[in-house]
Amino acid sequence: MKEPIRKLNGQRALDTAKPLRHVVAAMILRGSGAEREVFICQRRPDQPMGLKWEFPGGKIEPGETPKEALARELSEELGIVAEIGDHITTVRHTYRNGGTIEIQFFAVTEFSGDLDNRIFQEMLWSPLERLPDYDFLAADLTLIRDLAEGKIL
């Protein structure tokens, strides 16, 4: 590890300080009460953190508001035109590779178009209490537990 860092001209601090990545993700909801379900997606095996489950979304691009970014991601990933609803929560997480992400979660209850799998391994509707059965990305685990226990939504 020492050799490649030295080659970077002594900029070790810059090399290790990765910028915060701003991410948005959707909780697409249907049904109510005990029937309430949320739409979840599994990453492909060849992606980083492959086969983990997540909420559809992605990184905010320069010049986008969080809601604009999420609407774009849902169009690209699922082929839907979504109305981005209330902000639910924001989570910060540092992955083992040293990268920190901040994820803003929004509710989506209205959209047009059929959910079309454009990039995922698998996708499905899950009852909230069944979410802990899926192997979610580490940043999502507290949220998953809170959703399953009825503490959020």
Ligand X SMILES: Nc1nc2c([nH]c(=O)n2[C@H]2C[C@H](O)[C@@H](COP(=O)(O)OP(=O)(O)OP(=O)(O)O)O2)c(=O)[nH]1
70 binds ligand X, rule: CB under 6 A? no
Size of the site for ligand X (CB under 6 A): 15
Tokens for 135, please give them: 């192997």
128 binds ligand X, rule: CB under 6 A? no
Query: Which of 56/128 has CB closer to ligand X?
Result: 56
Give Cα separations from 52 to 76, 88, 100, 118 (angstroms): 20, 22, 18, 17
Q: Which residues touch 107 (CB under 8 Å, ≥6 apart)? A: 26, 27, 29, 85, 86, 88, 153
User: How far apart are alpha carbons 44 and 50 in whole angstroms?
Assistant: 5
55 binds ligand X, rule: CB under 6 A? yes
- Report whether 90 contacts 100 (CB < 8 A): no
Q: How far is the CB of 3 from ligand X (least distance, A)?
A: 25
Chain mean position to CA 108: 14
- Report whether 123 contacts 114 (CB < 8 A): no
Rule CB under 6 A: choose which of 29, 101, 107, 119 binds ligand X: 101
Q: Segment near ligand X (CB under 6 A), from 28-36, 55-63, 113-121, 122-130?
A: 55-63
Query: Which of 56/115 has CB closer to ligand X?
Result: 56
23 binds ligand X, rule: CB under 6 A? yes
29 binds ligand X, rule: CB under 6 A? no
Binding site for ligand X (CB under 6 A): 23, 25, 47-48, 54-59, 101, 103, 137, 139-140
